[in-house]
Chain A
């Protein structure tokens, strides 16, 4: 069987890990050494990892981030999180059917007290914020320990194959996210006072000022003077029938599988949520050769950057606003998904249902801060700081700024930095966090001579790589602000170098060259998808900015700029009537209606709210109607939030039901959070020697 792997990618290098055998429920399979077990299973088209002990519901991937325990499998007799455990040769892997058995290993154990570590500054999380803070602290020679639970630094930067927005000077705009991660990591390597511990999971913060952490089954107690929480964000879930079927998971989890591990996690997805995360996930899917049935958005407009949305629509992916998901359908994994228009109460409008044949539904309805460490440390009275998404959900470029700012704040608090925090940083962080402006209409440039870039860029967002890459210095934004729309000051100076076409993160710049043939100019378009499709001589479908087909034309030439290897520049010759409008190359031409209409009679109350303990919306709603207002009591009677993830997923959903029931959240009592935030084996806590 061919494995479900991404074998060619326009941007990412396809890793060539050593193939190793393992068994899955007795069947011999192959995976790549070092890849996460969950990825090895997905590569073998295994998405059902077990069945829940309460209702035998199929269990599979959910967060892909070590936060929940949905992906448990039994490895050599012991349950482990498959998304955090690397595959090695000869592993015996089994699905978890019901409750896992405890192996009767009764050899007496020698135990040892945990290692105790003192550090001036502890940073939890090595993503854009944590790395940026560590660099500032390292430059000031401050003793800093940085923990990250993954096997490499970069956090979610690792998953970002697209070019970043923001400014070139301050946040590497135009550079791809994963490359930015490498840049930061290289900077950090130079700094002696920063120690990095990878594969190290912070598991709790205690009232005696200690952070508990686990590395390789060893427990350590870390006492920092200052704590910086840069733990990022987690994905919000949505309540609908079928929402815990294997194949329904977060867009971020999907990016982990596809972009980090190069797994072809799906053949076709539908994405719920038109923010940047959902739209970018759609783009990443197509880059990996995965079809996207559509992106649906509940609001009347997409929340993400218009350039991101345009980019996806041009590829042929419909974005349906004012739509909601009715149900994910299938018995043991997703077979189709039903969506519908929504009314003003956010309920599906009967008669507007559409069902798409997909195997995966990606949820991208927003992020919530991973702030349990911050809140608890604050409650304990520790000197704690937060940066990046743990402080406020925003783009990674903003996280780099808040990381720098908080890093310097900590240095100031330690008396190691006397100056003020540069005001420019605060301003830039604010700009990078800002919501996109209103989309405006603006006429295409006129003039049918010479050569000039055309900007299909209609919405004010913090982004300016095109201005800094222009050798002639003729590209400027409105008033030279980072959020201004770009324009060319003097088209006659353009030499047609195509740098602006190649760098634009939104793929929203084309170059129209009238010099050889004023009636049929050469148009250069940026392209980042499957390269076979655009080989020289192939006929391609060209679209306008909104994805409407405007022409078909053969590819005349292909160019790659050395500095921007991921973006292919495709040249076609078009009539001058449409040359200024052409910007996209359509790669996906079909809709994917399901062949048979599934049973979608499941009621919204069958949606799963607490996936760990299998508590439905109906059960929560009944308790609320019975008068429960204290989430701690709700937990006591329903077990919602009592599972492995500790209410990370269900809490916002429970709030949603309170709201649906017309209860003011001020009348409710929030649940009390306690350590541990990640489960830790007894043996690890006890310090068993060589124990697993």
Chain B
């Protein structure tokens, strides 16, 4: 006889673990299945740790605001230190192009009550000491945003999920089939067993498309590869996540911050994108990103880079998540395609999914679900990727 659950989550990562935590708190008997040996070993650990609510789309602003609240209050509420640092997000501006883009987001951001402003060059230089002065026009700064350790956060969520006594995790186990009956999902079959549940949550990130195929569902998630790295720790001298939106040959934007440990963590967006699921580090990344970072902030030149890694962004055609019920297969929920923002959006996503399953969705939830339905037109592209 197969073991029965109220819900099964496929993927113990940025979306799956917070969802499990939220479900466990609502008393939903939940099983999480992941092929990795422990939580967060897929893409979560590749995230550099930035957390912001200052997105450009209402859906992400809503998800981001709630996630930010959970991250920023975690230690006082639950005790464990996830290295939350309220350092803000800084988008320095050197060209009219970026100035126009960033300013165009401000009305929506302010409508949601977000604390963000366009600040003059002097303020940019205070926030990011040593940033190149030449041509600096100002920038946007959102002081309530920040960063935390994805490694510590997911393990804190994991322990919390277990502590509800409603959640089980099965690691090193691969989903091989999705059990269906008369257009309804009935559970999953893995390389080690079969588990039944009326609801299955697709939190498989870059592998959602493959998971979808098991249920004859097309999930338009196309992973691409990004490399990130971390330095030795040095005495903290800035706190904000600095995002340079400019493009240069071979790359688009890049971003970096100094963690609570004093380590600089950074990442770049390759141009053209490197499609696929190859997470092997290349020799291209470091010289490419180091050049841009040293040009932007010369004093970084003396800091030693310690380690580099490569991770996947589960991209969707419009750069926004896929979140909501599948209408072709009853009982299937998608919580995927976070496009590199799974860590920062995860806690908010988890709560929405938990309320969907327990029939408690709010008006705000529905607004988000409408925006990120699988059945939208994937036409546009999100401004502030």
Partner-B contacts on A (CB < 8 A): 53, 69, 78-79, 98-109, 111, 113-114, 204, 206-208, 210, 212, 219, 221, 379-380, 628-630, 632-633, 635-637, 644, 646, 669, 674-676, 679-683, 685-688, 691-692
**Residue of A99, A219, A636 with most chain B CB atoms under a 10 A cut-off:** A636
- Checking B40, B155, B298 against A107 with a beta-carbon cut-off of 8 angstroms, the contacting residue is B298
Q: Is the CB of A674 within 8 A of B291?
A: no
Q: Which of B101-109, B127-135, B335-343, B364-372 contacts A (4 or more CB under 8 A)?
A: B127-135
**Residue of B41, B155, B278, B307 with most chain A CB atoms under a 10 A cut-off:** B307
B78 to chain A, nearest CB (A): 15
Please give, as numbers and ranges, the residues of chain B lying within 8 Å of A207 by CB-CB distance: 278, 280-282
Ordered by A's residue number, 12 sampled pairs between the chains whose C-beta atoms are within 8 Å are A100-B234, A104-B299, A106-B133, A207-B278, A628-B38, A630-B38, A630-B41, A632-B38, A636-B154, A646-B306, A681-B305, A686-B291
CA of A632 to CA of B171 in the docked complex: distance in angstroms? 14
- Checking B41, B302, B308 against A78 with a beta-carbon cut-off of 8 angstroms, the contacting residue is B302
Q: Which residue of A lies closest to B297 (CB)?
A: A106
Chain B, residues 258-292, CB within 8 Å of chain A (1/0): the string is 00001000000000000000101111101100110
CB within 8 Å of A: which B279-325 residues: 280-284, 286-287, 290-291, 293-295, 298-309
Query: B381 an interface residue at 8 Å Cβ cutoff?
Result: no
- Checking A104, A629, A683 against B129 with a beta-carbon cut-off of 8 angstroms, the contacting residue is A104
- Checking A78, A99, A674 against B309 with a beta-carbon cut-off of 8 angstroms, the contacting residue is A674
Please give, as numbers and ranges, the residues of chain A lying within 8 Å of B378 by CB-CB distance: none
Please give, as numbers and ranges, the residues of chain B lying within 8 Å of A69 by CB-CB distance: 232
Interface size class of B (residues with CB under 8 A): 35 or more
Q: Is the CB of B300 within 8 A of A644?
A: no
CA of A109 to CA of B290 in the docked complex: distance in angstroms? 12
CA of A387 to CA of B292 in the docked complex: distance in angstroms? 39
Q: Which residue of B lies closest to A667 (CB)?
A: B37
Query: B233 an interface residue at 8 Å Cβ cutoff?
Result: yes
Please give, as numbers and ranges, the residues of chain A lying within 8 Å of B234 by CB-CB distance: 99-102
CA of A18 to CA of B33 in the docked complex: distance in angstroms? 66
CB within 8 Å of A: which B1-57 residues: 36-41, 45
Query: B137 an interface residue at 8 Å Cβ cutoff?
Result: no
Q: Is the CB of B37 within 8 A of A669?
A: yes
The answer to whether residues A208 and B284 also contact, given A78-B302, A105-B299, A681-B303 and a CB cut-off of 8 A, is yes
CB within 8 Å of A: which B144-175 residues: 151-152, 154-155, 171
Please give, as numbers and ranges, the residues of chain A lying within 8 Å of B152 by CB-CB distance: 636-637
A230 to chain B, nearest CB (A): 21
Q: Which residue of A lies closest to B264 (CB)?
A: A682
Q: Is the CB of B308 within 8 A of A675?
A: yes
Query: B182 an interface residue at 8 Å Cβ cutoff?
Result: no
Please give, as numbers and ranges, the residues of chain B lying within 8 Å of A212 by CB-CB distance: 283, 286
- Checking B130, B154, B281, B307 against A646 with a beta-carbon cut-off of 8 angstroms, the contacting residue is B307
Please give, as numbers and ranges, the residues of chain A lying within 8 Å of B262 by CB-CB distance: 53, 99
Please give, as numbers and ranges, the residues of chain A lying within 8 Å of B37 by CB-CB distance: 629-630, 632-633, 669
Query: B359 an interface residue at 8 Å Cβ cutoff?
Result: no
- Checking A106, A219, A675, A681 against B130 with a beta-carbon cut-off of 8 angstroms, the contacting residue is A106
Please give, as numbers and ranges, the residues of chain A lying within 8 Å of B376 by CB-CB distance: none
Q: Which residue of A lies closest to B80 (CB)?
A: A637
CA of A89 to CA of B130 in the docked complex: distance in angstroms? 31
CA of A490 to CA of B152 in the docked complex: distance in angstroms? 76
Please give, as numbers and ranges, the residues of chain A lying within 8 Å of B280 by CB-CB distance: 206-207, 379-380
A317 to chain B, nearest CB (A): 40
Q: Is the CB of B232 within 8 A of A679?
A: yes
Q: Which residue of B lies closest to A116 (CB)?
A: B283
- Checking A99, A113, A114, A629 against B235 with a beta-carbon cut-off of 8 angstroms, the contacting residue is A99
Query: B237 an interface residue at 8 Å Cβ cutoff?
Result: yes
CA of A691 to CA of B291 in the docked complex: distance in angstroms? 13
The answer to whether residues A686 and B290 also contact, given A632-B38, A636-B151, A637-B151 and a CB cut-off of 8 A, is yes
Q: Is the CB of B302 within 8 A of A99?
A: no
Q: Is the CB of B235 within 8 A of A101?
A: yes
- Checking A109, A674, A682 against B308 with a beta-carbon cut-off of 8 angstroms, the contacting residue is A674
Q: Which residue of A lies closest to B238 (CB)?
A: A102
Q: Is the CB of A109 within 8 A of B301?
A: yes
CA of A646 to CA of B233 in the docked complex: distance in angstroms? 14
Q: Is the CB of B306 within 8 A of A691?
A: no
The answer to whether residues A687 and B287 also contact, given A106-B130, A669-B37 and a CB cut-off of 8 A, is yes
Q: Is the CB of A688 within 8 A of B301?
A: yes
Please give, as numbers and ranges, the residues of chain A lying within 8 Å of B299 by CB-CB distance: 102-106
**Residue of A69, A98, A633 with most chain B CB atoms under a 10 A cut-off:** A633
Q: Is the CB of B302 within 8 A of A111?
A: no
Please give, as numbers and ranges, the residues of chain A lying within 8 Å of B45 by CB-CB distance: 632, 636
CA of A691 to CA of B294 in the docked complex: distance in angstroms? 11
Partner-A contacts on B (CB < 8 A): 36-41, 45, 129-130, 132-134, 151-152, 154-155, 171, 231-237, 262, 278, 280-284, 286-287, 290-291, 293-295, 298-309
Q: Is the CB of B130 within 8 A of A104?
A: yes
Q: Is the CB of A688 within 8 A of B294?
A: yes
Q: Is the CB of A636 within 8 A of B40?
A: yes
Please give, as numbers and ranges, the residues of chain B lying within 8 Å of A633 by CB-CB distance: 37-41, 155
Please give, as numbers and ranges, the residues of chain B lying within 8 Å of A101 by CB-CB distance: 234-235, 237
**Residue of A100, A102, A106, A111 with most chain B CB atoms under a 10 A cut-off:** A102
- Checking B130, B154, B171, B302 against A683 with a beta-carbon cut-off of 8 angstroms, the contacting residue is B302
CA of A680 to CA of B302 in the docked complex: distance in angstroms? 9
CA of A245 to CA of B302 in the docked complex: distance in angstroms? 28
Q: Which residue of B lies closest to A646 (CB)?
A: B307
Q: Is the CB of A683 within 8 A of B301?
A: yes
Please give, as numbers and ranges, the residues of chain A lying within 8 Å of B36 by CB-CB distance: 630
Please give, as numbers and ranges, the residues of chain B lying within 8 Å of A109 by CB-CB distance: 294-295, 298, 301
Please give, as numbers and ranges, the residues of chain A lying within 8 Å of B171 by CB-CB distance: 630
Q: Is the CB of B302 within 8 A of A105?
A: yes
Please give, as numbers and ranges, the residues of chain B lying within 8 Å of A111 by CB-CB distance: 291, 294-295
Please give, as numbers and ranges, the residues of chain B lying within 8 Å of A676 by CB-CB distance: 286, 305-308
- Checking A113, A630, A686 against B301 with a beta-carbon cut-off of 8 angstroms, the contacting residue is A686
Q: Is the CB of A675 within 8 A of B307?
A: yes
Q: Is the CB of A114 within 8 A of B302?
A: no
CA of A379 to CA of B262 in the docked complex: distance in angstroms? 32
CA of A636 to CA of B309 in the docked complex: distance in angstroms? 15
Q: Is the CB of A108 within 8 A of B301?
A: no
Q: Is the CB of B301 within 8 A of A682?
A: yes
Please give, as numbers and ranges, the residues of chain B lying within 8 Å of A98 by CB-CB distance: 235
- Checking B129, B282, B283, B295 against A108 with a beta-carbon cut-off of 8 angstroms, the contacting residue is B295
A133 to chain B, nearest CB (A): 24
Q: Is the CB of A679 within 8 A of B306?
A: yes
Q: Is the CB of A102 within 8 A of B302?
A: yes
CA of A257 to CA of B290 in the docked complex: distance in angstroms? 35
Q: Is the CB of B301 within 8 A of A221?
A: no
Please give, as numbers and ranges, the residues of chain A lying within 8 Å of B306 by CB-CB distance: 644, 646, 676, 679
Q: Is the CB of A208 within 8 A of B301?
A: no
- A210-B283, A687-B291 given; 10 more Cβ-contact pairs under 8 Å: A105-B298, A105-B301, A109-B298, A206-B282, A207-B278, A221-B283, A633-B37, A636-B154, A644-B232, A683-B302
Please give, as numbers and ranges, the residues of chain B lying within 8 Å of A637 by CB-CB distance: 151-152, 155
The answer to whether residues A686 and B307 also contact, given A219-B287, A630-B37 and a CB cut-off of 8 A, is no
CA of A207 to CA of B154 in the docked complex: distance in angstroms? 29
Q: Is the CB of B293 within 8 A of A682?
A: yes
Q: Which residue of B lies closest to A643 (CB)?
A: B306
**Residue of A53, A219, A637 with most chain B CB atoms under a 10 A cut-off:** A637
Q: Is the CB of B38 within 8 A of A208?
A: no
**Residue of B40, B155, B298 with most chain A CB atoms under a 10 A cut-off:** B298
- Checking B130, B134, B283, B304 against A679 with a beta-carbon cut-off of 8 angstroms, the contacting residue is B304
**Residue of B37, B293, B302 with most chain A CB atoms under a 10 A cut-off:** B302
- Checking B41, B303, B305 against A632 with a beta-carbon cut-off of 8 angstroms, the contacting residue is B41
B266 to chain A, nearest CB (A): 9
Q: Which residue of B lies closest to A110 (CB)?
A: B295
Please give, as numbers and ranges, the residues of chain A lying within 8 Å of B291 by CB-CB distance: 111, 113, 685-687
- Checking A99, A104, A669 against B233 with a beta-carbon cut-off of 8 angstroms, the contacting residue is A99
Q: Is the CB of A108 within 8 A of B298?
A: yes
